[in-house]
Structure 1
Amino acid sequence: MSDASVEVSVVLPAYNEEDTIRETVETTLATLDGFLPAGSFEVVVAEDGCDDRTPEIADELAAADSRVRHFHSDERLGRGGALDFAFERAAGDVLVYFDTDLATDMRHLEELVESVRSGEYDVATGSRWMPENVADRPAKRGVPSRGFNFATRLLLGSDLRDHQCGFKAFSREAFDALHGEVEDKHWFWDTEMLVRAQRRGFRVKEFAVDWTPKGDSKVDLVRDVFGMGSQILRCFWEFRVSPYANRRTGMAVGVLLSVLAFALMFVYIDVDTFVESVSDADPALVAAGAAVYVASWPLRGLRYRDILAELGYDGSVGFLTGAVFISQTGNLVIPARAGDAIRAYIVKARRGVPYTTGFASLAVERVFDLLTITVLAGSVLVGLALFAPGTLADLATTASGVGVAGNAAAVQQAVVVATAVGLLAIGSVALIVWSARSDSNYVRRVVNWASDDSYTEYVASVFEDFVTDVQRVAGTAGGFARVGGTSVLVWTIDVATALLVFRAFGLSLPLVDLVAVGFFAVSVGNLSKVIPGPPGGIGIYEAAFAAIVSTLLPVTFATAVGIAIVDHIVKNVVTVAGGAASMIRLNVSLTEAVDGTVEPDAEEETAVSSSR
């Protein structure tokens, strides 16, 4: 058959389809023969690195019928990669594909092909979710599918109801214009093609099809969450954020972030209570506490520099202190410390640090923070058990909510969370150190156990890079000592700030008592606010802090709440002020950060390429 006579190329993406591929090819040929002129079509088996008899069967079919072609790949390309490869080499001007399990009724093939072949549409796709013909899908796949399609419409601006139905056709012109822009090579490939086609103004037809579920119907965490979900977010950034993200808008966002961070302090804490608390405190000592707290920030920058140095990257203490300020300001607005992600893009834009390494460095910092305050709190508990055993019973009573009036639930929650997070921190460090000394690749084992999908390699490599970076810092004696030592200094200054606030409220108790209680209250308060909740842990921190102070010191719970509020507000005000100043000094274009188009900033310092 001459390539010049071929109008329609039907591609069948095949991975280990030895049981069905022969019947699928024969059914496809018979269906096409029913409405297309002889010699005007071809069927291409895009065999994607199979390890069964699919390649041999495809060769047999191609040898027996000139209308059948077989494209082989030694390695898995992913469904999208296989389609891309086959479409580029196919002879037709109308490019069609459908899943080899023939879940879509083949009586719809003529409408699919003719919609594009007639020139009326550039792209056509079958749909299982049209109002007039809803497919009968198992809930375990139907619910995720509806969720995926809703997210695609909401975040990517698509007008289609079903992006995943494996039943699509493209004109050669549309394919050539679009496929070079599509980054995904796996299951998201066709969704991205459809979304980009709409954005480019191509005519897209969606029509209802009869569809019967076959084959895999399980929810796959790797494919559905890490694979497909990350691709939606990638496209959302490219389509909806990147075009508008520049230095001017970055500055506006930074100012808004600072204003929100300051305002939220007084959303979760009653303003009248704060004013009353401040009026009872010595303003000079409160200001002194703020000045002391400022001194902890260069140490945070120094610690982060040491973490990045272990990973093969350089950074000045000044620059990294600003980056920490900005991310911590974000944490006051965004719950669950998700504001830390801001720092990852800053160090990528200005220091060329890959996102996996950036997030790994943040994870290391967070683990050391939790480990340090857990050890500090544990040390105080041991001291109390040895020298004041009666206070342990008092703490247990307070932890149950007795004597804390309407704050019982918050105190109970804080104690439970602080205990769980502390144990998790210790366990995490032990696991990191142990795994760093092991030659086994547990990450890939877990991912391969969870899924055999074509996204596995991509997801496994991302997690491997992340885990390896974490191990490099926490798994070496020198790195552990430097980062751990600086963490102790950071939290000692944090406690020193609280001690000055104690003094500001007139507490003239022995210093040793205040130091012990300060370490314990600050540690438990910070452990308790790790869980998702109010931004910055406002409210949760105060409950835990006040419960401990009122139990261990001769002050009322109301006074202890006032101390906790002032202590937390002072620290948050310093954070917001530092964050606002750093945003002005280190203004970073979000577009440049994500696209990686910015070289390391030579004006501030020369970044060292990763030594990995």
Structure 2
Amino acid sequence: MNDIEVSVVLPAYNEEDTIEQTVVVTLDALAEFLPTGTFEVIVAEDGCDDGTPEIATRLAETDERVRHVHSDDRLGRGGALEFAFERAEGETLVYFDTDLATDMRHLEELVESVRSGEYDVATGSRWLPENRADRPPKRGIPSIGFNALVRAVLRSDLRDHQCGFKSISRTAFEQLGPQVEDEHWFWDTELLVKAQREGYRVKEFAVDWEPKGDSKVDIVRDVFGMGSQVLRTFWELSVSPRITRRVSLGAGTMLVVLALLLMTQYLNPRTVLNEMAGAAPGLVALSAVIYAVSWPIRGLRYRDILDSMGFHERWDFLTGAVFISQTGNLVFPARLGDGVRAYVVKARRSIPYPSGFASLAVERVFDLLTITLLAGTVMLGLAATGSAGDLLAALTGDAVGGDPAQSGQTAVYVAAAVGLAAIGAVAAIVASARTDANFVRATIGRLSDDSYADHVAGIVEGFVADVQTVTADGPAFARVGLGSLAIWSLDVLTALAVFAAFGTPLTPSVVAVGFFAVSVGNLAKVLPLTPGGVGLYEGAFTIIVAPLTPVGVTAALSIAIVDHAVKNVVTIVGGVVSMAWLNVSLTTAVEESRSATDMQPEADD
């Protein structure tokens, strides 16, 4: 019969200098208030590379009250605690930091608060008014800031979430443990927050605490890790439960309305309508059809990118996902709509976030490189035909006056910078794909020596590996490149149809300048100075077209306005249809789209 009532877990990573003394002190403290044979001390040794495993094994062999739980791989602080708790025998589970910074005279209160059945969870606190914790500024200020953030964002009633001095009943752990997603330093904070949300009885009591050793703010763990986990938990607890089918469809509708409203801040709707009134409606409609044809190609290209990474999905679903993300990009700055697509493919097919963002990075690089090559080829052609002077005047805006010249110059500068960056990115990706060198872990290691850095490094390495996979796959590289060329050629053909709608003859020079103007305008749109690049695109288009073709400034601006408006309208309509089809809420509604597409027969494409 098992008489163990209390299991104390000591999470240990490379603690060879202190672990033996910590175990001895812990056993003595427990023996002062617990009957013999009712407690155990578990050294949760987390993939150490020093002498800690040997010491823990020796202690376990010489004292039956001690157990050694070993992990070959680094599990992280939270992961190591869960691993040990699952193997513990007691009904009251306790853990504290092995440096014994918390005065051990508080151990009895920590254990008995839960063992007595009065509370489900107990935690020491260094920030209650009556405690006497010595907190130097370099430790105290970050701790105050973090706890204030958790209290405000996650609505916790506790003052101190990170004190390494906690106990929990086995029943509460078995219910809460599977709900805790973090496996590192945020683990106990998430446990406390969710315990409060679930209605468990949580006791916070003041402890005397003295810092041991040196401490510093860890960039990776404290800033990236803890901050992102607070936001993730807020989304999970406060946002996600409220996203129903009705809310998701309503939010999608509001997204589209907001996109349209923001567009009116940069383009006068009356001006657009007046300019469209002077264009042939049939050719404007044709331009919309041409642009719409490019979207299935976007879906096929995205499928090829994901295929090369080992993720296989239907092109029609991916076309819808691209539509939705591009609609979001008309509203949100810094292309935050791309994050929506990464979430959709994760929820839809469990494609990890690093792979989702890597696929987006590959797509963006191919987009920018293709546009840059189109612009560069036409620019060289124009220069070769003796139009170098006119081209320079166009690019500097000297040939056009007024607002178009000012916005156009900004757009051209942005386009040049983006184009050079695209070429550099492709060169770097190709070079990295041909080398076995790994700079990710070394770079992150310079920022942090915490165990969380290994976790972050693994994520970044996965991202880089996915990008390199596509680059190193010759057939995939070629398909994606040809798809990009087709997409942006159709983008230019859309603009040429608008040229024709305004009565402009499509001479070879007009076609060449059209290719160049649209390419530069699209490069300028990458910098999110306005929603969807509205204004930048028109400015770049106008200052290039007006001096290099018989089209005047007013007509060039009109063509640019209508061209861009047609493209944005097609994007928004496609986004509305896709949101309705896929019912894109950011929770289970996305999964419902799995059955809608899985029931369709597979197409040979």
TM-score (structure 2 length as normaliser)? 0.86
User: Of residues 410, 432, 436 in structure 1, which corresponds to 2:433?
Assistant: 436
Larger CA deviation: 426-435 vs 104-113 = 104-113
Q: Aligned-pair distance for 1:573?
A: 0.5
Unaligned ranges ≥5, structure 2: none
Q: Is residue 417 of structure 1 aligned with residue 414 of structure 2? A: yes
Q: Aligned-pair distance for 1:304?
A: 2.5
Contact 2:196 2:202 in 1 (8 A): yes
Aligned to 1:499: 496
Tell me, in whole angstroms, the C-alpha distance in 2 between the residues paired with 1:529 and 1:311: 28
Deviations 1:390-435 (A, max 9, x none): 1344245339xx9654677755543443223222211222222233
Q: Aligned-pair distance for 1:9?
A: 3.4
Q: Aligned-pair distance for 1:101?
A: 2.4
Contact 1:313 1:607 in 2 (8 A): no
Percentage of pairs with the same residue: 63
Residue correspondence of structure 1 range 191-210 to structure 2 within 5 A: 191-210=189-208
Q: Aligned-pair distance for 1:201?
A: 0.6
Counterpart amino acid of residue 502 in structure 1: F
User: Of residues 252, 266, 269 in structure 1, which corresponds to 2:267?
Assistant: 269
DSSP-derived class of the 2:179 partner: coil
Aligned to 2:481: 484
Counterpart amino acid of residue 533 in structure 2: G
Counterpart amino acid of residue 419 in structure 1: A
DSSP-derived class of the 1:180 partner: helix
Contact 1:374 1:422 in 2 (8 A): yes
Residue correspondence of structure 1 range 208-607 to structure 2 within 5 A: 208-215=206-213, 217-224=215-222, 227-229=225-227, 231-245=229-243, 247-348=245-346, 353-386=351-384, 387-395=386-394, 397-398=396-397, 405=402, 410-411=407-408, 413-447=410-444, 450-505=447-502, 507=504, 511-553=507-549, 560-588=556-584, 590-592=586-588, 598=594, 601-606=597-602
Contact 2:582 2:593 in 1 (8 A): no
Q: Structure 1 residues 142 and 300, CA, compared in 2 at 3 Å: closer, same or farther?
A: farther
Q: Aligned-pair distance for 1:482?
A: 1.9
DSSP-derived class of the 2:185 partner: coil
Aligned to 1:175: 173
Contact 2:323 2:571 in 1 (8 A): yes
Q: Aligned-pair distance for 1:504?
A: 4.1
Contact 1:349 1:593 in 2 (8 A): no
Q: Structure 1 residues 301 and 29, CA, compared in 2 at 3 Å: closer, same or farther?
A: closer
DSSP-derived class of the 1:13 partner: strand
Tell me, in whole angstroms, the C-alpha distance in 1 between the residues paired with 2:481 and 2:329: 22
Root mean square deviation, CA, Å: 3.7
Aligned to 1:94: 92
Q: Aligned-pair distance for 1:300?
A: 1.9
Counterpart amino acid of residue 428 in structure 2: L
Contact 1:316 1:605 in 2 (8 A): no
Q: Structure 1 residues 60 and 303, CA, compared in 2 at 3 Å: closer, same or farther?
A: closer
Tell me, in whole angstroms, the C-alpha distance in 2 between the residues paired with 1:462 and 1:243: 27
Counterpart amino acid of residue 536 in structure 1: G
DSSP-derived class of the 1:19 partner: coil
Contact 1:8 1:95 in 2 (8 A): yes
DSSP-derived class of the 2:203 partner: strand
Counterpart amino acid of residue 55 in structure 2: I
Q: Aligned-pair distance for 1:588?
A: 5.0
Q: Structure 1 residues 326 and 595, CA, compared in 2 at 3 Å: closer, same or farther?
A: closer
Larger CA deviation: 481-490 vs 514-523 = 514-523
Larger CA deviation: 79-88 vs 496-505 = 496-505
Q: Structure 1 residues 354 and 179, CA, compared in 2 at 3 Å: closer, same or farther?
A: closer
Contact 1:348 1:593 in 2 (8 A): no
Tell me, in whole angstroms, the C-alpha distance in 1 between the residues paired with 2:210 and 2:535: 52
Q: Aligned-pair distance for 1:600?
A: 8.3
Tell me, in whole angstroms, the C-alpha distance in 1 between the residues paired with 2:431 and 2:136: 45
Contact 1:94 1:172 in 2 (8 A): yes
Larger CA deviation: 271-280 vs 425-434 = 271-280
Q: Aligned-pair distance for 1:572?
A: 0.5
Deviations 1:485-515 (A, max 9, x none): 221121122112223333444555x623322
User: Of residues 13, 20, 23 in structure 2, which corresponds to 1:22?
Assistant: 20
Q: Aligned-pair distance for 1:442?
A: 4.5
Tell me, in whole angstroms, the C-alpha distance in 2 between the residues paired with 1:403 and 1:522: 17
Counterpart amino acid of residue 13 in structure 1: P
Q: Structure 1 residues 433 and 8, CA, compared in 2 at 3 Å: closer, same or farther?
A: same
Larger CA deviation: 551-560 vs 12-21 = 551-560
Counterpart amino acid of residue 526 in structure 1: N
Tell me, in whole angstroms, the C-alpha distance in 1 between the residues paired with 2:456 and 2:441: 9
TM-score (structure 1 length as normaliser)? 0.85
Tell me, in whole angstroms, the C-alpha distance in 2 between the residues paired with 1:334 and 1:325: 14
Larger CA deviation: 113-122 vs 27-36 = 27-36
Q: Structure 1 residues 442 and 242, CA, compared in 2 at 3 Å: closer, same or farther?
A: same
Tell me, in whole angstroms, the C-alpha distance in 1 between the residues paired with 2:142 and 2:397: 44
Tell me, in whole angstroms, the C-alpha distance in 2 between the residues paired with 1:595 and 1:319: 12
Tell me, in whole angstroms, the C-alpha distance in 2 between the residues paired with 1:56 and 1:191: 31
Q: Structure 1 residues 376 and 26, CA, compared in 2 at 3 Å: closer, same or farther?
A: same
Q: Aligned-pair distance for 1:472?
A: 2.9
Counterpart amino acid of residue 373 in structure 2: V
Contact 2:11 2:97 in 1 (8 A): yes
DSSP-derived class of the 1:206 partner: strand
Contact 2:408 2:538 in 1 (8 A): no
- Count residues with an aligned counterpart: 602
DSSP-derived class of the 1:97 partner: strand
Q: Aligned-pair distance for 1:40?
A: 5.7
Tell me, in whole angstroms, the C-alpha distance in 1 between the residues paired with 2:535 and 2:142: 36
Tell me, in whole angstroms, the C-alpha distance in 2 between the residues paired with 1:404 and 1:208: 71
DSSP-derived class of the 2:10 partner: strand
Tell me, in whole angstroms, the C-alpha distance in 1 between the residues paired with 2:97 and 2:217: 18
DSSP-derived class of the 1:158 partner: coil
Q: Aligned-pair distance for 1:372?
A: 0.6
Q: Aligned-pair distance for 1:568?
A: 1.5
Tell me, in whole angstroms, the C-alpha distance in 2 between the residues paired with 1:370 and 1:461: 28
Q: Aligned-pair distance for 1:287?
A: 2.9
Tell me, in whole angstroms, the C-alpha distance in 1 between the residues paired with 2:521 and 2:376: 13
Tell me, in whole angstroms, the C-alpha distance in 1 between the residues paired with 2:136 and 2:268: 50
Q: Aligned-pair distance for 1:64?
A: 6.0
Contact 1:11 1:98 in 2 (8 A): yes
Tell me, in whole angstroms, the C-alpha distance in 1 between the residues paired with 2:208 and 2:539: 58
Larger CA deviation: 284-293 vs 23-32 = 23-32
Contact 1:178 1:196 in 2 (8 A): yes
Contact 2:583 2:589 in 1 (8 A): no
Tell me, in whole angstroms, the C-alpha distance in 2 between the residues paired with 1:309 and 1:88: 39
Larger CA deviation: 129-138 vs 198-207 = 129-138
Contact 1:327 1:342 in 2 (8 A): yes
Tell me, in whole angstroms, the C-alpha distance in 1 between the residues paired with 2:603 and 2:596: 6
Tell me, in whole angstroms, the C-alpha distance in 1 between the residues paired with 2:311 and 2:61: 56
Q: Structure 1 residues 163 and 521, CA, compared in 2 at 3 Å: closer, same or farther?
A: farther
Residue correspondence of structure 1 range 105-144 to structure 2 within 5 A: 105-106=103-104, 108-130=106-128, 136=135, 138-139=137-138
Deviations 1:350-386 (A, max 9, x none): 5565544443332222111111111112223323433
Q: Aligned-pair distance for 1:589?
A: 5.9
Contact 1:348 1:596 in 2 (8 A): no
Tell me, in whole angstroms, the C-alpha distance in 2 between the residues paired with 1:143 and 1:280: 64
